[in-house]
A = this chain, B = another copy of it.
């Protein structure tokens, strides 16, 4: 699948993979890849600006973590982030229902004539 298809749903994906535990950017890419069965391969140019935006919005909080000499920026869901995730899930269900109903309409019941 062309990864461009996540357009408009990226925020939900990021919030979702951060739900079980905080992760740093590189691990987020791996987590999305794993949970999608390898179908989604997000790029750094996609997620880093998104993570910054989500932090600015107060949905994530970040903290630097030292691993040897290396540094990691670890992102965690805030309370607002958990609420936003719930909203994203609702919106996703509505979205699939709407598009699905146009793409695969259930035939109208035929009145017994």
What is the total number of residues of chain A having a CB less than 8 Å from a CB of chain B?
A: 32
A29: min CB distance to chain B, Å: 12
Instruction: State the oligomeric state as a number of copies.
Output: 2
- Inter-chain CA distance A7–B8, complex, in Å, is 8
When chains A and B are docked, how far (Å) is the Cα of A94 from the Cα of B38? 12
Least CB distance, A7 to chain B, in whole angstroms: 5
A63 interfacial by beta-carbon distance below 8 Å: no
Q: A40 to chain B: which residues have CB within 8 Å?
A: 98, 102
CA distance A92 to B1 in the complex (A): 10
User: Which residue numbers of A lie inside 8 Å of B, CB to CB?
Assistant: 1, 4-9, 12-13, 16-17, 32, 35-37, 39-40, 88-89, 91-92, 94-96, 98-105
Determine the distance from Cα of A40 to Cα of B37 in the docked complex, in whole angstroms: 31
Nearest 8 pairs between A and B by C-beta?
Answer: A39-B98, A35-B102, A16-B103, A36-B98, A13-B102, A36-B102, A96-B96, A5-B8
**Which of A39, A91, A103 is the most central at the interface, judged by chain B CB atoms within 10 Å of its CB?**
A103
A11 to chain B, nearest CB (A): 11
- C-alpha gap A103/B31 in the complex (Å): 12
